Amino acid sequence: MFLDILIVIFYFLLAVVGLFAVISVFSFRIVPQSYAYVIERFGSYRTTWHDGLHWKFPLIDRIVQKILLKEQVIDFNPQPVITRDNVTMQIDTVVYFQITDPKLYAYGVNSPIVAIENLTATTLRNIIGELELDETLTSRDVINTKMRVILDEATDPWGIKINRVEVKNILPPRDIQEAMEKQMRAERERRAAILKADGQREAAIKLAEGEKRAKILTAEADKEAQIRRAEGQSEAILKVQTATAEGLKKLNLAKPTEQVLTLKSYEAFIKAADGKATKIIVPSDIQNLASLVTSVSELARKDTIIEEEQEEKNKE
């Protein structure tokens, strides 16, 4: 009887050990890369497992939460906001965040994603409430920067790091959109008209400058031609005067007689009266000049007779 009891106790202990061994084997956990497991023991925080192989005490330790450590993106639904000039618009945002402390994320706030969404909505309303419509449409970078700073500071106790906040869409009311489109169209037409007027003005200026330049070049060409003609005439007169001076110089060196000078004057008188001149000035001593010419003719005739007589003598 006692032996049977021992056998039963042995098998019971063997079963307990086997069960404990099985539970122990299944208590091994492998944590993937970029994940963290939060472990509790008897309902209290025990430790945080990071990537690798881990073992938890059976029936005592338990995995409370599996947390992704990668950067995550949340696209929130459009939120109604009111600008400073009382224009209601729909704005949706995109938040890029990353969990840096798994313990704070697990115990810092209930439903962290919902908390971030509500915080984003309230922060966006506060920022847009300080801006007018035009500033809201042109100040996305300012809005993004302010929201990131505020959200990052608020979520730091939750173990969350806000990396970026982007305003995805800004949707004003339909009537405001139509007014903005009309304003944009009018602005583009005004710019087109200005550009056209500037082009016409530039063309007119260029044309006037071209005509002015052409006139200047023509005037300079005429001036240059007149200068060249004047230089040519001056050079011709200078050469004539130089030749005349040289002739007078040679004439003076030859020591001409009064009859020769009178004969030269007569030759000049003949050239002046060659039919090309319209007026002829007759010298007062024309009679003396005529007698001089006659004398010269007689002398020439006598020389001819003397030469003929000399030739006849030579023949004899």
Residue 125 near residue 98 (C-beta atoms within 8 A): no
Please state, rounded to an integer, the average pLDDT across all residues of the chain. Answer: 79
72-172 CATH choice from 3.40.50.140, 3.30.479.30, 3.20.20.10, 3.30.70.20: 3.30.479.30
pLDDT at 273: 52
Give the distance, in angstroms, between the CA of residue 197 and the centroid of all CA atoms in the same chain. 22
Report the pLDDT averaged over residues 113-132. Answer: 90
208-258 pLDDT, tens digit each: 888 888 888 888 888 888 888 888 887 888 777 777 767 666 656 665 556
pLDDT at 66: 92
| Domain chopping of the chain, boundaries | 2-68, 72-172, 191-255, 257-315
Rounded CA gap, 118 and 151, in Å? 11
Per the listing, tokens 């063997």 go with 14
Report the pLDDT averaged over residues 20-37. Answer: 80
Q: Read off the amino acid at residue 107.
A: Y
289-315 pLDDT, tens digit each: 445 444 444 544 555 565 566 666 665
pLDDT at 259: 57
Nearest to 71 by CA among 51, 95, 53, 52: 95
Q: What 3-state DSSP class applies to 130?
A: coil
Tokens (6 digits) for 74: 């949340």
Question: Which residues, 6 or more positions from 36, have their beta carbon under 8 angstroms from its beta carbon?
Answer: 48, 49, 50, 66, 67, 69, 99, 102
Helix (H) or strand (E) holding 160: strand 160-171
Q: Would you say residue 287 has pLDDT above 50?
A: no
Q: What 3-state DSSP class applies to 69?
A: coil
Q: Would you say residue 149 has pLDDT above 90?
A: yes
11-27 pLDDT, tens digit each: 777 777 777 766 666 77
Tokens (6 digits) for 103: 């313990």
Rounded CA gap, 165 and 155, in Å? 13
Nearest to 68 by CA among 110, 38, 95: 38
For 24-106, strand residue ranges (E) read 28-31, 35-41, 44-49, 52-55, 61-68, 72-75, 79-82, 88-99
Which residues, in sequence order, are bridge partners of residue 88? 82
Its sign, for the CA torsion 243, 249, 255, 257, is positive
Rounded CA gap, 12 and 291, in Å? 186
Q: Is the pTM of this model over 0.85?
A: no
